[in-house]
Amino acid sequence: MRRRHLRQVMRIETEAYPRPWSVGLFMSELSLRSSRDYFVAKTQGAIVGYAGMMTHADETHVTNIAVSSAWQRHHVATRLMIQLLRAALRRGTTSLTLEVRMSNHAAQALYYRFGFAPAGTRKNYYPETGEDALIMWAHDIDTPAYAERVAAVARRIPGTTVWAM
């Protein structure tokens, strides 16, 4: 993701979240290259999704994944998750964590496919609705067993190249 992508990213952000991040927050995140990675998914020149993460030591926190409603159920989030995993591995990460809305069962299903498991909840995490967040973790992402798990996910996506660590 680059600054030039933010107008299209913000369209998706405001569509996906009742309390969207600001352009300023995205610009701040993009400036922290030593610990942040952000990606966009494009089709025919249009951005249809994005994802981001921050890394500290050997842990990476997935900050966001969002896909335009017109492109949901087209494996965009899965492809973005694969990109996040690749970036996390390049940074030496062994574990990933994230929060997801308790009501977002589609996102939870995606994370389960990638080996995330529930680890707790954050009460009233989303202030605009008071909804709780499910905390999920995926450990040992640097192992051959995890690489095979991701390769299996990738093989189910039409047109995806083989996963490699």
What amino acid positions are annotated as catalytic residues? Answer: 99, 111
Where residue 93 falls (left for φ over 0; alpha for ψ -120 to 50; beta otherwise) is beta
Distance CA 63, CA 37 (A): 10
Residue with tokens 């993701």: 1
CB-based contacts of 142, cutoff 8 Å, min separation 6:
89, 93, 94, 165
* CA 151 to the chain's CA centroid: 17
Distance CA 75, CA 155 (A): 12
Distance CA 140, CA 145 (A): 9
Measure the CA angle with vertex 147, ends 108 and 107; round to 5°. Answer: 10
Residue with tokens 């992402």: 141
